[in-house]
Amino acid sequence: YRDNGNDFADLLAACAKVDRSVRIRFTTSHPQDLSDKLLNTIAEHKNICNYIHLPVQSGSDRILELMNRTYTIEHYLNLIEKARKIIPGVSFSTDIIAGFPTESYEDHVKTLDVMREIRYDGAFMFKYSPREGTKAFRMEDDVLEETKSKRLQEIINLQQQISFELNQQLMGTEEIVLVEGFSKKSDEFLSGRTDSNKVVIIPVDEKINAGDYLRVKINRATSATLFGDFISFENKVEEAVSLTG
């Protein structure tokens, strides 16, 4: 993104300044676009979520080159390390593809190794399927479906384990939650998100509305969801975030 000399970091900073009480989260950053300036912008504005979705796709440099991803795992790991220094407590999610054409067992193991090293808070995980218009569309889809499914399940199992362990560390903590509405599973519960994009479920309270910022004490955790009890209202996102910093 470029506009009269301004880049995406400038746009994000401008959005953050419009209303300090509004929490801002942007969806995806390509590793090639995650600049120091963008990281510092996230760190400087408390109403920009402490969360980055950074697709890795594979832990194998050979597969990344075939995907035309234009970065190496070494570069990617350096970005993660830098982001964690600039933005204390930042959380990461990612995208991972299992069974890309020519992917070997060794390539798959490298993906698992990267997941263990980074310890993502969450991931979107898929089996490879040909998509027209991509470089891989011209390649032979030579990884057996059975192998793809097995590798994908190993990736899912590992991520669920990591997510569960990270969420368990939040047991007993107080988190600032932005209420989004009723839980998808029951109208007796409300659903919201933390600054680090964790989903939090609390019992319905007639005083609480969508858009409210709440202080919530976490009392239970699964790999995908935190559960807690309402403690108090928080008036401003900047004030709320600073209380947990």
Last residue of a domain, one of 124, 141, 168: 168
Last residue of a domain, one of 144, 168, 192: 168
Q: How far apart are CA 148 and CA 16, in angstroms?
A: 42
Give the pLDDT confidence score for residue 244 in this predicted structure. Answer: 39
Check if the beta carbon of residue 220 is closer than 8 Å to that of residue 171. yes
Overall average pLDDT of the 75-84 stretch? 98
Q: Give the DSSP letter string of 168-193.
A: HTTTT-EEEEEEEEE-SS-TTEEEEE
pLDDT band at 61 (very low <50, low <70, confident <90, very high): very high
199 pLDDT exceeds 80?
yes
Check if the beta carbon of residue 58 is closer than 8 Å to that of residue 103. yes
Residues 69 and 39 in one domain: yes
For residues 174, 180, 201, 243, the Cα torsion angle rounded to the nearest 10 degrees is 0
How many domains does one find in the chain?
2
CATH number at residue 54: 3.80.30.20
State the pTM of this model: 0.92
Last residue of a domain, one of 107, 135, 168: 168
Q: What backbone torsions phi and psi does residue 60 show, to the nearest 5 degrees?
A: -105, 125
40 pLDDT exceeds 60?
yes
Closest to 99 measured CA to CA, from 28, 138, 154? 154
Closest to 198 measured CA to CA, from 229, 230, 166? 166
Look up the domain containing 224 and give its range: 174-244
Give the pLDDT confidence score for residue 4 in this predicted structure. Answer: 80
Residues 191 and 93 in one domain: no
